[in-house]
Amino acid sequence: MRFIGVALVSSAVVLGACGGGDTSKQAAPAAGAPAAAPAAAPAAAPTATGSAAPITGKTIEVKMIGDAAGSKFEPKDITLSPGDGIKFTVVSGGPHNVVFDKTKLAPDVAAQLDANLGAERMAELTSNLKMNPGESIIVSFGNIKPGKYEFNCTPHLAMNMKGSVTVK
């Protein structure tokens, strides 16, 4: 039952996200979800099923910017090695998030990336929303095989806030 409760809370956060409420308070239940997952019913899809693979290489900084010129990730196209990570940091124009396009991912890559969102994971392949400058989302590409993986920001998808990660 606790598991279902977490899923409902996560859904509520998605629905309520546009209101820009207290994100730190909303993030708390989701942060506890990955740790609780092994003991919970495996059939419940909303929580990551895989094990997060930590960053063992370098961490690349990506800015999330929104101003009069538009909304963007900068840089938007990143190349890294397996085991590296990306730290996405809000500069302006939040809320921003990081969402990977599941339709373009092999199932094993999707499962690992999903798990690698760790405490920042709010829904499948979707990070929580970051409102304030300086807040960040760190994503590990540990155990991610070579390929090109596209991501976007949900609130600014229509403004073409997109990017890609090439793991070589």
Binding site for Cu ion (CB under 5 A): 71, 96, 153, 155-156, 161
Partners of residue 163 on adjacent β-strands: 151
* Closer residue to Cu ion in complex, CB, 52/86: 86
Residue 132 Cβ, how far from Cu ion at the closest point, in Å? 13
What residue ranges in the chain does DSSP mark as E strands? 59-67, 70-74, 77-80, 85-90, 99-100, 121-123, 126-127, 136-140, 147-152, 162-167
Sheet containing 85-90, strands listed edge to edge, beginning at the edge strand earlier in sequence: 70-74, 59-67, 85-90, 136-140
Residue 84 Cβ, how far from Cu ion at the closest point, in Å? 23
Residue 151 Cβ, how far from Cu ion at the closest point, in Å? 11
* Closer residue to Cu ion in complex, CB, 53/161: 161
Instruction: Please state, in angstroms and rounded to a whole number, the distance separating the CA atoms of residues 90 and 74.
Output: 11
* Closer residue to Cu ion in complex, CB, 7/162: 162
* Closer residue to Cu ion in complex, CB, 74/108: 74
* Closer residue to Cu ion in complex, CB, 96/109: 96
Residue 136 Cβ, how far from Cu ion at the closest point, in Å? 13
Residue nearest Cu ion, CB atom distance: 153
Residue 96 Cβ, how far from Cu ion at the closest point, in Å? 3
Cα 159 versus chain centre, distance: 19
